[in-house]
Structure 1
Amino acid sequence: MVPMVDVMTFLIVFFILFTTFRASPMGLKVKLPAAVTATKQETTRITVTIDVGGNVYFNDTRTTVDGLQQKVRQQIARNRDSLVIIKADRDVRYAKLIEVMDAVRRVGATRVALAAERPS
């Protein structure tokens, strides 16, 4: 009975590993055809930075949360699909991050992302 349990455990581990290591469609290299009528999709990126002291920056310019709302509102009025990327220092208080996220969403930003470093 024990050898059968070993075999079954091995098969389960094998199938788990096999399904996680298969190639994803994004990893395949294909040559895409050219299209004469294709247009480049422009996405406006808005960068909001919060440093360790809780200071807020809009595209590298220091501002307040109220000032941030005005600037983001102006950008959203120009391009509704603007992407707001929030770069917060890892030691920033959680409440400050939520305050900034709420402020950005309150003015109509629907695409909000948090920046993170990929571990090496």
Structure 2
Amino acid sequence: MRYLSEKKARIEIIPMIDIMLFLLVFFAMLMLKMIPTTGQVTKLPTSSTAQELPSPKLLVELKQDGAIWVEQQQLSLPQLTEKLKKMGDKTAVTISGDKEADLQVVMKVLDAIKLSGVTQVAIAAKTQN
């Protein structure tokens, strides 16, 4: 008469652990996306043909007042050229700037990048809504 005896209820804990680990990984990845990865916040210009680029090896930020920032440091044009020469000509550089930045400053930065021998240059922009 063993088949008539009641079975005790069991709580399976393994599926619950799987779900908790999945949620932990999900929220960790979400938090990493929310943390800004580089530099200061700038108001990027907009473009209807903007595309997503891979993370740059070096981000050059142009401020409204004409200041040039690289890796949390303000640099002059000769300092920027020297830094890029040390990094090598295979470095990918992205120029990010305030939408109010002077176009002449952008051209000076492009000239400094060309003098260093770097050929992979991109300009950051937001897509138009």
TM-score for the superposition, normalised by structure 2: 0.54
Q: Which has the higher contact order (CA 8 A, sep 6+)?
A: 2
Offset at residue 53 of structure 1 (A)? 0.5
Is residue 49–residue 86 contact of structure 1 (8 Å, CA) maintained in 2? yes
Alpha-carbon distance between aligned partners in 2 of 1:108 and 1:44, rounded to the nearest angstrom: 16
Q: Which runs of 4+ in 1 moved over 3 A?
A: none
Query: Counterpart of 1:114?
Result: 123
Question: Counterpart of 2:59 in 1: which secondary structure?
Answer: strand
Q: Are residues 1:49 and 2:92 paired?
A: no
TM-score for the superposition, normalised by structure 1: 0.58
Matched-pair identity in %: 21
Unpaired segments ≥5 residues, structure 2: 1-54
Alpha-carbon distance between aligned partners in 2 of 1:64 and 1:118, rounded to the nearest angstrom: 30
Unpaired segments ≥5 residues, structure 1: 1-42
* Alignment RMSD: 1.6
Alpha-carbon distance between aligned partners in 2 of 1:73 and 1:101, rounded to the nearest angstrom: 14
**What amino acid is aligned across from residue 120 of structure 2 in structure 1?**
R
Query: Counterpart of 1:102?
Result: 111
Q: Are residues 1:65 and 2:77 paired?
A: yes
Mean CA deviation greater in 107-116 or 55-64: 55-64
**What amino acid is aligned across from residue 118 of structure 1 in structure 2?**
T
Is residue 48–residue 85 contact of structure 1 (8 Å, CA) maintained in 2? yes
Q: Are residues 1:88 and 2:100 paired?
A: no
| Residue correspondences, number | 75
Offset at residue 44 of structure 1 (A)? 6.3
